[in-house]
Structure 1
Amino acid sequence: MSFKLLCIEDETDLRADMCEELTAAGFDVDEAGDGREALDLLLSEHYDLVLCDITMPGMSGIELLRTVRRQERLADLPFIFLTALTSRQDVIVGKQAGVDDYLTKPIDFDLMLITISARLDQVARIKGAKPQADADSHSLRAALMGADEALNRIAVGVFLIDSERKVLFRNRRAEELLTAAEGLSVSREGLLRGEKPAQTQALKDIVDTAIARMASGNRHGTDAVALPRDSGKRPLIAVACPLGRGPAVAGEPAVGLFVTDPEWRPSDAAEAVAQLYGLSPAETRLALALVQGMRIDEIADEFGLSRNTVSYTLKNLFRKTETDRQADLISLFLSNPVALDQD
């Protein structure tokens, strides 16, 4: 397959030499002597890669690149600058405009060919990964369809976020966290925010990191941030992880953000607790009362029982849950991922 390149250079002799080298290497090459001529070609022809001088009369290379990146069809076109400007600031300006690489004048033709081949190989790898990424995205959508009820039954706030950091889904517990309006909110644009700008930035950073992991194909690893609350309660804990592999797509779930509240205690859910641990109604009521922070004497008074009866029921609880201390029993209930306050 012959790749088609566009060489943009206002120095006629250098442009001719470059085109000769590129043609000899098997590339199909068009040439332009300035930015305006190049833009006309870019808007009417298809190219696999562009080599472009920075300092040109009329439209500079930077101006041309910025214009190109605003065109949806050309947004991903590999762009390599040819330049004698190698200061740090020059490189920063080019990178901000969206350049992919640099070749320094005088041009080393061997390095030029190697750089072009490397960029074209990278494009081929990305295109090759796209079908798999699309398949993964389809599988993820299928898995999430009908999963609302399952996600609503867990005791962790779940937010599914796309590549633009917009919230696509939130479970029941997440809605409760937002309703509490402490440490976490969603803007009108659908973006998660903390109570302070620094916390909003921290949320953005962990989501962006997860998106980057997804794009690189590395789904391993998580990133977490604490979200302090003005109320003085302990901070919410937010953990982000990628949900798929390959480039993220707007409108598709890319990141799962899981939020826990260390202050939260589940309320009465006798049926759920009994099912989980095989408890009797009396054992269930006792367990939930302990989780709520009640003492044995308070429980006895609340339920109109003797302390001996409560102690006997507690022993049965220890046996069934394979614990031997109240602290371990409470920890067991609180660490359970299934929400205890289901309807």
Structure 2
Amino acid sequence: MITRILCVEDEADLRSDICEELVAAGYDVDEAGNGQEALERLRAGSYDLVLCDITMPRMSGLDLLRAVREEPGQGDLPFIFLTALAGRQDIIAGKQAGVDDYLTKPIDFDLMLITIAARLDQVARIKGTASRDEDASNTLRAALLGADEALNRIAVGVFLIDIERKVLFRNRRADELLDEADGLSLSREGLLRGEKPAQTQALRDIVDTAIARVGSSSRQGSEAVALSRESGRRSLIAVACPLGRGPAKAGEPAVGLFVTDPEWRSSDAAETVAQLYGLSPAETRLALALVRGLRLDEIAEEFGLSRNTVSYTLKNLFRKTETDRQADLISLFMSNPLAIGED
């Protein structure tokens, strides 16, 4: 079931950026520009969490929270405040009204998503929906729940394999490699195979070596093998790494197999960078505008944003890409970080 979130914020451009981040994270999002509008939406529909500004026209966030807590069936609705008011008295007032958490402005979007996920998980555990008796398959699914979206954003094929060499999980790029059926395939038993028997054996050997190292304190490097392709294109490169600290069990990830294609190229280097670093649409648009040579004030005017919102977004861009200068950021977006194996 998709989680529904109501975002309440009177600054339209900031509200739009927040909603984009939430949608990109897989949430179903509705928005409201003030407390009164939000209350009407809450009375008309069902939501799993409310993300709400405090200072708003018509009805403040505090007044909205007090009204919600008096609504039938809404007493335990998770409520997170977005605010620049972080003083002790403001926090006390919010806690007295029944707020669950605070996020201060400027909004750190990564922290926002983590806070929301943690609050929803807590609600699920309180309601008893998180089972303690999951079988191995459900354990795996729970372990991957927070990682699969990130893995789907990278351009390397990722296979998670158990001690019986069975593939338990593969990301989007891994599926694409299998669909190409050129150098790598998957048997009906869930085992990876190469183009020829010798390639299959080499693949099995590096996986077995990695399995043997699960839980070991050995610092030996990961094992790699080149997988030739019938098409004549350059070989795929497969690297096997042990996972966890052991001991591993059947049905649980023991080895990560990472497969790269030296001839793979994104048609759009900027899109590749955005996927690699998990950038939101707003962050990607800002980076591309910088590549075009626009100044921050020109970007704000072109997109109809406030200068503060542009600055917040740029700050998030620097953090996610581990850069601290606009020149470095522009250079990153103008080059393809996956151009490996080139002569």
Is the TM-score greater than 0.5?
Answer: no
Larger Cα-atom Rg: 1
Query: Which TM-score applies when normalising by structure 1?
Result: 0.42
Higher RCO, Cα 8 Å, sep 6+? 2
Tell me the TM-score normalized by structure 2.
0.42
